[in-house]
Amino acid sequence: MGHQTNKQIILKNYVNGFPTESDMEVRNGAIQLKLPEGSNGVLVKNLYLSCDPYMRNRMSNIKGSYIDSFTPGSTITGFGVSKVIESGRADLNKDDLVWGLTGWEEYSLITAPETLIKIQHTHDVPLSYYTGILGLPGLTAYVGFYDICSPKKGDTVFVSAASGAVGQLVGQFAKSFGCYVVGSAGSDEKVNLLKNKFGFDDGFNYKEEHDLDAAFKRYFPNGIDIYFDHVGGKMLDAVLANMRLNGRIAICGMISQYNLEKSEGVHNLMELVAKRIQMKGFLILDSYHLYPKYLETILPLIREGKIVYVEDIDEGLENAPKALIGLFHGRNVGKQVVVVARK
Ligand code: NAP
């Protein structure tokens, strides 16, 4: 194969505040569908792209972040599912399916192919799941809940952004472990999913709760043992005041702060002392080694229908900017995926 047109999503400029579609553009590039001589890279056709909140970080010029910023004028990169066209990596062959870091474009030459994980696709689970329940969000929920939260049967658990890619799984893991689980989400439709699809004991629309402290006193009259935090800010503050003795807080993310020029303060930290609460942040990038074990655990649960997963799928690479910025407005219902091609 020779030169091929290659539609790409470019970051136009660094972003301040909320990202908008005009911070990105669709460009018609070209790619040589042949590996350069001697390359150990992997040439792929991209199928499904994952939209993830951490990508907002990469859209600004932040010094000293745990992850590099995108370069204005260059193709955005992120996690995705791809099909191998040609491989310089010994264990990958043409037509193999992989997930890992790729470009927001139709075809990519991946020059750090060690980040790619080969998918043993069995056709009884959707391939797009490797951006979500079978990818990093799934592993995040698993490690975050079982390792960071140290759950005990009967614990009361609160999950914020509970209908999202990670949250819907945290809730289901906690329920199956024997915990009492309440989630918050930003619409009645999402709260309905929490209670009727994911099996949460209860849920509330935080946008309609003007007094979060009162809401927690209503949903957790005896307090919260575990908080799985996805949003930070005022929610974290209100939770702190409602934690129980020896509670655990897993700081997975703080999406309510990502677009603010200056983070909101958290005022109730003294609760950590008085109630001997452990609050721990974690990055899933440190737990890649647990992925095979996680996969072995989760696949049978999906097949037996014991765990369900909701995705929000947008068709077409050109819709990727809209899908990405939608995360910061709660537009996605479930895991946000963009389909570039289905095979
Ligand atoms: P997601 O929940 O599928 O999507 C983001 C959701 O966040 C939106 O749908 C929206 O839902 C909610 N949201 C947006 N702005 C908000 C605000 N100002 N206040 C409250 N909620 C807001 O995303 P995800 O992939 O599962 O990620 C969830 C969190 O986990 C993020 O903070 C992310 O950075 C973090 N994360 C961390 C790791 C790690 O390694 N530590 C790995 C993966 C994800 P509502 O409609 O409910 O508001």
- Atom of ligand 1 at shortest distance to CA of 137? 43
- Please name the residue whose Cα sits nearest to atom 32 of ligand 1: 253
Where are any strands of DSSP class E within the chain? 3-11, 24-32, 42-50, 77-87, 97-103, 107-110, 117-119, 156-159, 180-185, 202-205, 224-229, 243-251, 278-281, 311-315, 335-339
Q: Residue 121: its pLDDT value, please? A: 79
What CATH topology corresponds to 136-285? Rossmann fold (3.40.50)
Domain definitions of the chain by residue range: 3-132+310-339, 136-285
Phi, psi (deg, nearest 5) at residue 239: -65, -45
User: Given this chain, do its domains 3-132+310-339 and 136-285 carry the same CATH topology?
Assistant: no
Q: Is 255 in the pocket of ligand 1 (CB under 6 A)?
A: yes
The answer, yes or no, to whether any atom of ligand 1 lies below 6 A from the CB of 53, is yes
Write the DSSP assignment of 298-328 as a string of letters.
HHHHHHTTSS---EEEEESGGGHHHHHHHGG
For the domain made up of 3-132+310-339, the CATH class stated in words is alpha beta
pLDDT value for 114: 87
Residue 55 has a pLDDT of 98
Q: What is the mean pLDDT of each run of 10 residues along the chain (343 residues)?
A: 88 97 97 92 98 97 90 98 96 97 98 92 92 98 98 98 98 98 98 98 98 98 98 98 98 98 94 98 96 97 97 98 98 98 96
Cβ contact 248:241 at 8 Å: no
Q: Which two tokens stand for residue 273?
A: 């002392």
Angle ∠(125,128,129) on CA atoms, nearest 5: 55
Summarised one tens digit per residue, pLDDT across range 35-65 is 999 899 999 999 999 999 999 999 999 888 8
pLDDT of the residue at 2? 62
Between the CA of 330 and the centroid of ligand 1 the distance, in Å, is: 9
Place of tokens 């509670």: 247
Is 114 exposed, middle or buried (CB count within 10 Å of its CB: 0-12, 13-18, 19+)?
exposed
